Amino acid sequence: MTTVKTCLSQKSGAVISVTSAEPVQRALELMKAHRVRSVLVLDQGRLEGIITQGDCAIRVLLEGRDARITPVGEIMTRDPLTVRPEDPLEACMGLMANRNFRHLPVLDGGRVVGVVSIGDIVKDMIRQLGAQVSFLETYIKGHGA
């Protein structure tokens, strides 16, 4: 069973974040630059929320607000659900499916250490399936003669 920690070890390790006072445009610029769909909102190192592309589209664009001046804190999802490094990825997948999330911040002792996305989980599942297929091929070739 793969853990969040194992999944995070496959990523760059960078935690992409903004403060709640920064404009939404800054969050969008970071999403574009890092090719991600969410950024964490940290104030003085403490997780305050998460902002996603969907938040920006629905709470800024559709409401006719200006992303250059709207503070992230006005549209972010506050106090997001978090997971720990030792949590199994299967549990994360269940949370995401049941609660309709695509991103889960990872906290270790209250400190943000990363984010697990639904894409990360899918990549891990594909990796595991590849390993199982390889094992089965070896088993069949070794015992099929």
Confidence at residue 12, expressed as pLDDT on a 0 to 100 scale = 81
The set of long-range contacts for 124-132, using a CB threshold of 8 Å and a minimum separation of 24, is: 124/2, 124/6, 124/7, 124/10, 124/89, 128/2
| CATH number of the domain that residue 139 is part of | 3.10.580.10
Write out the two tokens for 121: 């989980």
pLDDT tens for the 145 residues of the chain, in order:
689 999 999 888 789 999 999 999 999 999 999 999 999 999 999 999 999 999 999 999 999 999 999 999 999 999 999 999 999 999 999 999 999 999 999 999 999 999 999 999 988 888 877 667 777 777 788 765 5
pTM of the model: 0.85
Q: Which residues form the domain of 117?
A: 4-143
What is the longest distance spanned by two Cα atoms in the chain? 70
Q: Angle of helix 89-99 relative to helix 118-143, nearest 10 degrees?
A: 130
Using DSSP's 3-state secondary structure scheme, residue 96 falls into: helix
